[in-house]
Structure 1
Amino acid sequence: MGSKAKKRVVLPTRPAPPTVEQILEDVQGAPAEDLVFTAVALEE
């Protein structure tokens, strides 16, 4: 019995991570009712 050769799957390249400015823009533009902010408030 021979071993089966596995084809290597070529994945697309990952996008660049967001910049600090992009993250801050997203956070500042989010409403206070955003799920992330309500989850943090519940933990405190």
Structure 2
Amino acid sequence: MNQTVRNLEIMLFIQVWILLQFKVLFENYHHNRFSYLSFFSCIV
């Protein structure tokens, strides 16, 4: 049970971290469109 809780905590942390990364990206979008586009081209 403790292991399951630990795994959920890790998953939640990762999801929050990813959301924060996107939040920063969207806030910087208007300042630097080129890096934004290159970031998505790396994902795709």
Same fold (TM over 0.5): no
Q: Which structure has more helix as a fraction of its residues?
A: 2
Q: Which has the higher contact order (CA 8 A, sep 6+)?
A: 2
Return the TM-score normalized by structure 1: 0.29
Task: Indicate the structure (1 or 2) with the bigger Cα radius of gyration.
Answer: 1
